[in-house]
Amino acid sequence: MYLENIITPHYLKTNSESPERLSDAANLKEIASITTDVVLSRSNENCQQLIDYAEHISNTVFKSLWFLANKKQYGWFKDAYVRPDSRVITPDNLNEHQVASCSGFAILTSEALEKAKIEHFVAFSNQHSFVVLPDKNDTFLYLVDSLSPDLNQKFYENGNFPSIAKLKTDIKLKGRADIVIDPSDLTSSIKIDCFSVIYDNPWLSNKKVCSFQNVYTKGDLLKFRLFTPTLGRYVLENYLYFVDSLEQNNISEALKRLNNLGSNYPDVNETINLERNIKKLLVQLGRNNEITLAGQAIETYLSSFDSKSHLTKQHEGDYWRIIAKNSRNKSAAKKAKDCYAQAKIIRYNVSDILNAKLLAATNLFNELEQVV
């Protein structure tokens, strides 16, 4: 656990408060003794009390850590004490300088909530991590984001995800579950203009935010993957080390971390572009002509998708085509061609894009077949 090593406030956020352990500053033991009784009650008042405790803990975590964005995402640094290179901010930095990306904030918040005996899930969506509290009456979920407290709010079940009672059951049985959210539902309750919210929280949009007009369109949905606390923290740690290994071109370590994730890969929104880190891994494996390892990586990643839609099969074809292009391997090109053909069978109305991809894979296969 990282919790016991964290001092608050962070030395770069020093104010009139005296430094102390985060667990003491957040009153975790006292809260835990109270929540034991609170959880037995299902009154609205006590549900709000749990939310208040969670936000208090989240705010204490915020004071304790220094946020550092990935260099390739933002191109600037907030902490001169951290090396100015492309290394991903991994959990190691929590203990070194109390520096973290959003995942580090989520990991620490989850540890603190668990010690306070507050039920919660660790959540991941579109490269962002946070925590979610389930209502004891199964009527709503409550988003708690230590980095962006303006986003803290209730959101209710709708046609995009099952009943909260079923959601909790699925998480208990499988360790995770997915819900789909319209980002406009999250931003509509915030008393700040929409563009500012999305600009400060780019994970809320699947598009690059350049102007108000292209923030998002209706139906541009986000997928939240929710985990049990222990599994969620394990997933975030391995995901961060997976990405960091790719940045350092350490392919063997990246494959190890991907295998650790197994069927729990956190970023599984099949309605947007290919997962960039998987794509980067497959490019390297293709160049090294590691076709078997590449196939295993695709299989491991796709095991994280509970339903196999035409988009999933189309993406599988895309990944095999990446391998074929970089390895000039005929069997990889054939797999890509076969995947696109299967996607056409699954989908009733075939898009022009899918037809174009099938044609490209067929041409690539024919070209490689001519190579002696």
Q: What is the pLDDT of residues 235-262, one digit of tens each?
A: 999 999 999 899 899 999 999 999 999 9
200 domain residue, yes or no: no
| Whether residue 225 sits in one domain with residue 320 | no
**One domain for residues 225 and 320:** no
Token pair of 52, please? Answer: 């208040």
Whether residue 176 sits in one domain with residue 96: yes
Which long-range contacts link 232-235 to residues 24+ away (Cβ below 8 Å)? 232/106, 232/110, 232/121, 232/122, 232/123, 232/124, 232/176, 233/107, 233/110, 233/111, 233/122, 234/260, 235/122, 235/124, 235/261, 235/264, 235/266
Are 178 and 275 contained in the same domain?
Answer: no
280 is in which domain, residue-wise?
270-369
Under DSSP, is residue 133 helix (H, G, I), strand (E, B) or coil?
Answer: strand
The answer to whether residue 294 sits within a structural domain is: yes
54: in domain: yes
The whole-number average pLDDT for the span 34-58 is 80
Instruction: Tell me the C-alpha distance between 294 and 194, whole Å.
Output: 41
Residue 68 pLDDT > 50, yes or no?
yes
Q: Is residue 102 part of a domain?
A: yes
Q: 206-246 pLDDT, tens per residue?
A: 765 444 444 544 457 888 999 999 999 999 999 999 998 99
Which tops the pLDDT comparison, 184 or 119? Answer: 119
CATH number at residue 300: 1.25.40
Residue 155 has what DSSP assignment?
A: E
Give the model confidence (pLDDT) of 163-183 as tens digits.
888 888 999 999 999 998 888
Q: Are 69 and 103 in contact (CB under 8 A)?
A: no
Percentage of the chain with pLDDT > 70? 84
3-state secondary structure of 179: strand
pLDDT value at 132 more than 90: yes
Per-residue confidence (pLDDT) for residue 145, from 0 to 100: 95
What pLDDT is attached to residue 321? 98
**pLDDT given at position 317:** 97
pTM of structure: 0.89
Task: Count up the domains in the chain and report the number.
Answer: 2
Phi then psi dihedrals of residue 303, to 5 deg:
-65, -15
Query: In whole angstroms, what is the distance from residue 24 CA to residue 112 CA?
Result: 11
What is the pLDDT, as a whole number, of residue 37?
67
